[in-house]
Structure 1
Amino acid sequence: MLWTVLLALLLLLLLQTQLSVCLRELRTGASSSPVYSPSSSSSSSSYNATQQRLPGAIIIGVRKGGTRALLEMLNLHPDVEVAKAEVHYFNVEEHYRRGLAWYRAQMPFTLPGQLTVEKTPGYFAAPQVPARVWDMNPAVQLLLIVRDPAERLVSDYTQVLHNRLTRHKPYQPLEELLLHKGHIDPGYKALQRSLYHQHLARWLEVFPREQIHVVDGDALIRDPFPELRKAERFLDLPPRINPSNFYYNTTKGFYCLLSAGHDKCLDESKGRPHAPLSTQALKKLCRYFRKPNKLFFEMVGRSFSWC
């Protein structure tokens, strides 16, 4: 009987010792495990390294110049992540008052070394924007995509017309807005947005010329790859975008994108038929733009085949 009691006590002591060892190991393991914050809820270590960063490059315009196409094409690059929506941080007072924390929260999650790109074409013509962008980051890289200013104006009008018709609101014909007593009306807003030299002058008061890369929007439509290669070099990105990333869609009439076996075409608003403009009015418009275009060519150090 005595031996039975002693054996039971010995077994109990051994179990207690083993239990203490297990508890100590559990506590040690818990203290050495990484602590996950709510903002890094993924089990993937690579995801935990991501964060939302302020953009290192911004597509500043022009409106109806091909900014969406340029953004989507840059997004083919593995080292680039883009903000999917136009943020309008620097040109909308309500947004700007929310501060840089709000702006950063609109950006995609990126890994260290990846480039965040944002595009808002309204930035280019807004007088207050250049200084605000400089205050955010004086080293930010700027991309400006331009196209024939007369074509841009008609495309601008066409978009506004479509939006108003969709909401069943009336809108004047283009020539009524463009011409006043048979002459070009310089007060027409769509016309003012096509005076590239005026807007670029404000940016060059703040940023050095070499910090602004000009993309030929018309060339981007005809043959995207050469323009994308130039943009890669400007952004100091390794060449990763190839001609095989593009194919011409004969139905849509412009290039679509191919990446990892998936194709993507821009939405139906791209390539929308332009509102009509008489030959006479178009000639007047082209004559009006001759001097502004020449000034712009001198500013950027290159010329374009515009009307």
Structure 2
Amino acid sequence: MPRTLDSQITMEKTPSYFVTKEAPKRIFNMSRDSKLIVVVRNPVTRAISDYTQTLSKKPDIPTFEALAFKNRTLGLVDSSWNAIRIGMYVLHLENWLQYFPLSQIHFVSGERLITDPAGELGRVQDFLGLKRIVTDKHFYFNKTKGFPCLKKPESSSLPRCLGKSKGRTHVQIDQDVIEQLREFYRPFNIKFYEMVGHNFRWD
């Protein structure tokens, strides 16, 4: 981390911190006053997105259904598969709460980040104790990608949008597979909503 003044905030991000068992202790030992921001989305959609990204790099992997279930007929989900395990948010949160109070963790809705980016970022700015500077005027909807992008800053001729790997069309999954996964995640989701005091409405 670069050294910062009292008036500055240093930020660091990676998708794997939240689900890495050793991360909370390491971050706590570095700075117990850290504020943590976690972007979460519907775990079923997240798993399909995860699979879609892996498939783009390794086209010969088994089907989503083959990886997601130990026994599809019995509805036995394979929670050891990373794409499934990551979406069991409550388990990861329990690990973080051993080191950090909930007041230092802010959860961003991945769905609302698409439908109301300024609103979600407004709440992030509040959480960080910043003045609300980022507003609706900073975004435009990119029809090709299917989500909002930042308008170009005055210093650049190009708008700022997420990379090529973002916004790709998901693999088509049978509706009954989606329903089975919804059932699997429901108890984890409900406990997660209760713990964070917010219903993300993933059912």
Q: TM-score, normalised by structure 1?
A: 0.62
Aligned to 2:144, the other structure's residue is in SS state: coil
Quote the residue 2:21 is aligned against.
127
Superposed CA deviations along residues 108-130 of structure 1, whole A, max 9, x for unmatched, are: xx676221111011011111110
Matches of 1:208 and 1:126 in 2, distance apart? 18
Structure 2 stretches of 5 or more lacking a match?
Answer: none
Distance change (3 Å), C-alpha of 1:115 and 1:52: same
| % same residue | 39
Equivalent of residue 152 in structure 1, options 46, 54, 63: 46
Matches of 1:210 and 1:180 in 2, distance apart? 38
Equivalent of residue 267 in structure 1, options 142, 145, 163: 163
State the shift of 1:251 in Å: 2.4
- Is this contact kept in 1: 2:112–2:120, CA < 8 A? yes
The answer on 1:176 being equivalent to 2:66 is yes
Matches of 1:111 and 1:259 in 2, distance apart? 28
Matches of 1:192 and 1:253 in 2, distance apart? 26
The answer on 1:205 being equivalent to 2:98 is yes
Quote the residue 1:52 is aligned against.
2
Alignment map for 1:15-164 (pairs within 5 Å): 52-53=2-3, 113-164=7-58
In the alignment, residue 267 of structure 1 is paired with which amino acid?
G
Distance change (3 Å), C-alpha of 1:211 and 1:112: closer
The runs of at least 4 consecutive aligned structure 1 residues that moved more than 3 Å come to none
Structure 1 stretches of 5 or more lacking a match?
Answer: 1-50, 54-109
- Is this contact kept in 1: 2:28–2:100, CA < 8 A? yes
State the shift of 1:177 in Å: 0.6
Aligned to 2:164, the other structure's residue is in SS state: coil
Superposed CA RMSD in Å reads 1.6
Aligned to 1:155, the other structure's residue is in SS state: helix
Matches of 1:159 and 1:193 in 2, distance apart? 15
Equivalent of residue 292 in structure 1, options 176, 188, 197: 188
Equivalent of residue 191 in structure 1, options 84, 89, 93: 84
Matches of 1:210 and 1:111 in 2, distance apart? 23
Structure possessing the higher relative contact order (Cα contacts under 8 Å, 6 or more residues apart): 2
- Is this contact kept in 1: 2:36–2:105, CA < 8 A? yes
Aligned to 1:121, the other structure's residue is in SS state: coil
- Is this contact kept in 1: 2:139–2:150, CA < 8 A? yes
In the alignment, residue 2 of structure 2 is paired with which amino acid?
Q
- Is this contact kept in 1: 2:145–2:168, CA < 8 A? no
In the alignment, residue 63 of structure 2 is paired with which amino acid?
P
Aligned to 1:280, the other structure's residue is in SS state: helix
State the shift of 1:223 in Å: 1.5
Matches of 1:272 and 1:259 in 2, distance apart? 22
Matches of 1:260 and 1:186 in 2, distance apart? 43
Equivalent of residue 237 in structure 1, options 111, 119, 130: 130
Quote the residue 2:116 is aligned against.
223
Matches of 1:214 and 1:252 in 2, distance apart? 24
Aligned to 1:304, the other structure's residue is in SS state: coil
Superposed CA deviations along residues 145-204 of structure 1, whole A, max 9, x for unmatched, are: 100010001111111111223xxxx21110111122222222222111110000000101
